[in-house]
Amino acid sequence: MAKKIKKFSLGNSVRKRQLTRTIENLTKGLVYVSETDAPFEVFIVAGTEEFYGGLEKEDRPVEEISVDKFFARLVKNQDWHGDKEKEMARKFLKLKDFLDSNLNNLRVFRIGRVQIEIYVVGLDEDSRLVGIKTKATET
């Protein structure tokens, strides 16, 4: 069920800048840890057809996973975590909560094998596709 977005009730371009600026601030300093660590990048696509149509044409495997599954290991505190790791988990939880609260139909796509592109995407209140992307290496 789609949720109503009440945040960012300013003009369209101001709302777009504010949303992306907030996501950029939330991802600042975060990396997706795999065999290589990769930063996150914010993106906006005016229409969903371009993005989702591109997924259908991929010649690499495309896997959709739940948002909870994607963030599970990133937000979980482990016994061995020091202060830095605990802070990263808090930041990832804050990012997840913000995306959940401000984007509709939030989805996660993993594209490829070994060198994997990861997209966390949802729709803003103007039906633009907004999200973050990163990379993972898994051998």
Task: Provide the CATH number for the domain around residue 40.
Answer: 3.40.1460.10
Number of separate domains in the chain: 1
10-33: pLDDT as tens digits = 456 777 789 999 999 999 999 999
Residues 27-31: contacts with CB within 8 Å, 24+ apart? 27/95, 27/132, 29/91, 30/88, 30/91, 30/92, 30/95, 31/134
45-56: pLDDT as tens digits = 877 888 888 887
Which helix (H) or strand (E) is 40 found in, with range? none
Residue 8: predicted pLDDT: 42
The backbone region for 105, taken as left when phi is positive above 0, alpha when psi lies in -120 to 50, beta otherwise, is left
* pTM for the whole structure: 0.86
Residue 20 resides in a domain = yes
CB within 8 Å of 128: residues ≥ 6 apart: 16, 44, 45, 46, 47
77-104: pLDDT as tens digits = 888 878 999 999 999 999 999 999 999 9
Domain that residue 31 falls in = 12-137
Residue 4 resides in a domain = no
Residue 97 resides in a domain = yes
Site of tokens 């495997």: 61
